[in-house]
């Protein structure tokens, strides 16, 4: 009998679907708009052996609805929509596609940094409104500036490589990083780093510890000319405090690819600022990374269901193995 994998969300790359099919695994689809109770019913009726999760909330009820469920794989790295504890209680490994979209996210972070540094959004909007704001304008260069990184994982490492031509001074804060990076300063505290950076780029997971990690106190300690970019998860920055800091001129601008509530409300307080650039949580969604994430997720499924082998480095709850 063929194994079954349920894929939630907008779908995965054709290369990944072919990989699953060639390994005799049937694909079941759940669209993004399907509610969690309806997913429970679908899982209960189809009894999949594995999940590949993009969007949708996968809670304890969903996980327990399939007695045959053996593995859960996140198409990406953020598992805020997966109840990892519930999976662990059933001895089900939860894997991520570690590193598959790191380059894409790092490039997106650099795009936001450069756009903020050059005031791209303000002038693009202004010129369409009939403004020609050339007189008196003086932009800033990224070269020689100080970059602060919150988190030292694959994405931060990619971003470090990308900014090398800018000869930036780079500092990172990550109490869980086990190794230092050549030529990169490790901050002893977040507060010490924030006071000195020109650019702050966030690349840590959203956890109880990092929830509202950047709030009014942290923003107030930064330079008025500093910019902040978040391509990680919403909720790491306190958005109300960020809006107030921008209103007060405490910092110079922000680039956000993720929000505490997604999609954010139409009257979000950040929308009043021309020095805020926002994108709809798409930093990792390039054509290239979609293939890498999809095929990596598919291979995790194949390896575990057919060979009972697992990539421990990509497993969030290795104690179940």
Close Cβ partners of 89 (under 8 Å, ≥ 6 residues apart): none
pLDDT score recorded for residue 136: 82
pLDDT score recorded for residue 251: 97
Q: Closest Cα partner for 271 from 243, 245, 229?
A: 243
pLDDT score recorded for residue 258: 96
pLDDT score recorded for residue 1: 76
Q: Which positions of the chain have pLDDT values less than 50?
A: none
Identify the architecture of domain 3-100+286-320 in CATH: 3-Layer(aba) Sandwich (3.40)
3-state SS of the chain: helix, strand, coil percent to 5?
35, 15, 45
How is residue 290 written in tokens?
């979609």
Prediction pTM value: 0.87
pLDDT score recorded for residue 265: 93
CB atoms within 10 A of CB 160: 20
Q: Which residue among the candidates 54, 75, 157, 233 is catalytic per the annotation?
A: 233
- Residue 281 annotated in active site: yes
Q: Which residue among the candidates 262, 272, 288, 306 is catalytic per the annotation?
A: 262
- Residue 288 annotated in active site: no
DSSP code of residue 259: -
Q: What is the pLDDT of residues 30-73, one digit of tens each?
A: 999 999 999 999 999 999 999 999 989 999 999 999 999 999 99
Residue ranges covered by each domain of the chain? 3-100+286-320, 102-278
Domains 3-100+286-320 and 102-278 share a fold: yes
CA distance readout (Å), 207 to 89, 118, 152, 197:
20, 32, 15, 24
- Residue 15 annotated in active site: no
CB-CB contact of 251 with 117 (8 Å): no
Q: Which residue among the candidates 103, 157, 281, 300 is catalytic per the annotation?
A: 281
CA distance readout (Å), 258 to 30, 115, 179, 229:
23, 17, 28, 10
Cα 22 from Cα 299, distance rounded (Å): 11
pLDDT score recorded for residue 182: 85
Cα 74 from Cα 152, distance rounded (Å): 21
Q: Closest Cα partner for 293 from 6, 82, 13?
A: 13
Identify the architecture of domain 102-278 in CATH: 3-Layer(aba) Sandwich (3.40)
């Amino acid at each position: 009998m063929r194994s079954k994998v349920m894929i939630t969300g907008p779908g995965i790359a054709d290369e990944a679907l072919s990989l699953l099919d060639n390994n005799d695994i049937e694909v079941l689809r759940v669209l993004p708009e399907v509610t969690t109770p309806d997913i429970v019913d679908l899982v209960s009726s189809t009894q999949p052996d594995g999940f590949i999760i993009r969007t949708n909330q996968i809670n304890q009820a969903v996980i327990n609805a399939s007695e045959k469920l053996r593995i859960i794989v996140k198409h990406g790295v953020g598992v805020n929509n997966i109840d990892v504890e519930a999976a662990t209680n059933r001895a089900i490994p939860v894997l991520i596609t570690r590193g598959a979209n790191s380059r894409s996210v790092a490039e997106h972070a650099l795009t936001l940094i450069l756009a903020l540094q050059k005031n791209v959004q303000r002038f693009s909007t202004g010129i369409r409104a009939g403004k020609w704001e050339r007189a008196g304008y003086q932009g800033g260069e990224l070269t020689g500036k100080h970059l602060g990184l919150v988190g030292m994982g694959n994405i931060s490492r990619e971003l470090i490589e990308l900014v090398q031509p800018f000869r930036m001074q780079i500092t990172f804060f990550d109490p869980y990083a086990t190794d230092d990076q050549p030529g990169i300063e490790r901050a002893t505290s977040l507060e010490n780093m924030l006071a000195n950076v020109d650019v702050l780029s966030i690349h840590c997971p959203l956890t109880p510890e990092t929830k509202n990690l950047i709030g009014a106190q942290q923003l107030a300690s930064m330079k008025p000319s500093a910019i902040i970019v978040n391509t990680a998860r919403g909720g790491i920055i306190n958005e109300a405090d960020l809006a107030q800091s921008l209103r007060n001129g405490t910092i110079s601008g922000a680039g956000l690819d993720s929000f505490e509530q997604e999609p954010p409300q139409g009257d979000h307080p950040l929308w009043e600022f021309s020095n805020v650039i926002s994108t709809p949580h798409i930093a990792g969604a390039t054509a290239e990374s979609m293939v890498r994430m999809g095929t990596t997720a598919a291979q995790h499924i194949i390896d575990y269901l057919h060979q009972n082998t697992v990539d421990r480095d990509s497993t969030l709850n290795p104690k179940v193995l």
